[in-house]
Amino acid sequence: MLNRDDQIAHEMFQEIQSPDQPRQKVLDSPHLHKLQRMHFLLFDVLPIVGTVCAVALLFFHPVSVVDIALFAVMWILTGLGVSVGYHRLFTHRSFKTTPVVRALFGIFGSMAGQGGVISWTAMHRRHHELGDQDGDLHSPNLHGSGLVGKLKGFVHAHFTWMVAHPYPNVVHYAPDLLRDPVIIWVNRHYYTWIVLGLLAPTLIGALVTQTWMGAVTGFLWGGMVRMFVVEQGIFSLNSLCHLIGRRRFVTDDQSTNISWLAPFIFGESWHHNHHAFPGSASFGLAWYRIDPGYWVICMLSLLGQAWDVKVPTREQISRREIRAS
């Protein structure tokens, strides 16, 4: 079942390409690199600064219940936006859902500040196409051997690759999304969603506490700190989950599973399982592995809001497993 879907996805990528034309799949350009640098400073570096400020402020002003609640709600919404929306739904099409749910996941995913949904999807599909080989935008394994090479690779894959990188051809990698009016609309208003995601906790913090300080700490905890935490989680997939951890299947890449990370990134750190079964809605591949992203899809399915949820059978899984003998 999964294999056929992978085939369809593959054909989808080729759809618009005529066979006699070589197609460029990525482009490096100074114009694009400038945009990437701006995005990096605003949404990758600034949240670190904001988090340092939030922690420093603790010495003068204890964190309030309101701040913790704003952080938790925004963390869960935007984290699921990336894990369930951007990743499992839009990139890998592991289940189907209604236009309203698609819009909500797209909007919450955008608020995480990791790029518009179409760019994110295109880059991530390229990552699966070339995992840990030349052309993978964020492999930690292409920077030489030994401890120094691994360290360099870690820094690149975790953070610095985003400063300036080749940009993927979205018509090649994400033609399906370009045909979805909901996605086009969400994607066009990417920056609006980010601003909304920062404004909402600021306003709620101010209104609930009726103080200016409430606005500041609401912005810091519900905006900056949650953006920082969601990002560090997703960055860890690119770095740690291709460096340390366990493997159980034969795959072309060097992906790994890191169980202790799973509760903090909605089950995403079963990343090796995911590389082995990219079309599966479940990353844990078993009920006893913590996979909150999949649990949300199951809940949606119970409520009639998700269908065609793809999960490989036990037999399909065991067939791929590495045997000791």
Partner 1 sequence: MDHVQIAEQIDEAAVAAWLKSYIANVLGMEDAAIKGSDGLDSLGLDSALTTALAMDMEGWLGIEIPLAILFEAETLDKIAEGVTLETQRQQVTAG
Instruction: Decide which of Zn ion, partner 1, none touches 195; Cβ closer than 5 to 8 Å per partner kind.
Output: none
**Binding positions for Zn ion, rule: CB under 5 A:** 255
Question: For 19, left (φ over 0), alpha (ψ -120 to 50), or beta?
Answer: alpha
Q: Which residue, 140 or 197, is less far from Zn ion as judged by CB? A: 140
Burial call 106-127: b when 16+ CB within 10 Å, e when fewer? bbbbbbbbbbbbbbbbbbbbbb
31 contact choice in Zn ion, partner 1, none (CB below 5 to 8 Å, kind-dependent): partner 1
Please say whether the dihedral angle defined by the alpha carbons of residues 233, 234, 236 and 241, taken in this order, is positive or negative: positive
Cα(164)–Cα(28) distance, integer angstroms: 9
In this complex, which beta carbon is closest to Zn ion, that of residue 102 or of residue 272?
272
- Residue 167 binds which entry of partner 1, Zn ion, none, CB below 5-8 Å type-dependent: partner 1
Residue 319: contacted member of partner 1, Zn ion, none (CB under 5 to 8 Å, by partner type) = none
Tokens of 219: 């912005």
Q: Take residue 256 and report the two structure tokens written for it.
A: 């790994």
Point out which residues bind partner 1 (CB under 8 A). Answer: 16, 21-27, 29, 31-32, 35, 116, 118-119, 122, 167, 169-172, 175, 178-179, 184, 187-188
The CB density around residue 201, as the number of other CB atoms within 10 Å, is 27
Least CB distance from residue 36 to partner 1, whole Å?
A: 11
Q: What is the smallest separation between the CB atom of 191 and partner 1, expressed in angstroms?
A: 11
- Residue number, 117 or 227, with CB nearest to partner 1: 117
Residue number with CB closer to partner 1 (108 or 167): 167
Using DSSP, state whether 142 is helix, strand or coil: coil
DSSP H stretches of helix in the chain:
2-14, 30-40, 46-57, 65-80, 99-111, 117-130, 146-158, 170-173, 175-178, 181-188, 190-209, 212-218, 226-238, 271-276, 292-302, 314-320
Q: Which is nearer to partner 1, 29 or 211 (CB)?
A: 29
Shortest distance, CB of residue 188 to partner 1, whole angstroms? 7
Residue 22 contacts which entry, partner 1, Zn ion, none (Cβ below 5-8 A, type-dependent): partner 1
Choose from Zn ion, partner 1, none: what does 61 bind? Cβ within 5-8 Å by kind.
none
Nearer to partner 1, 35 or 42 (CB): 35
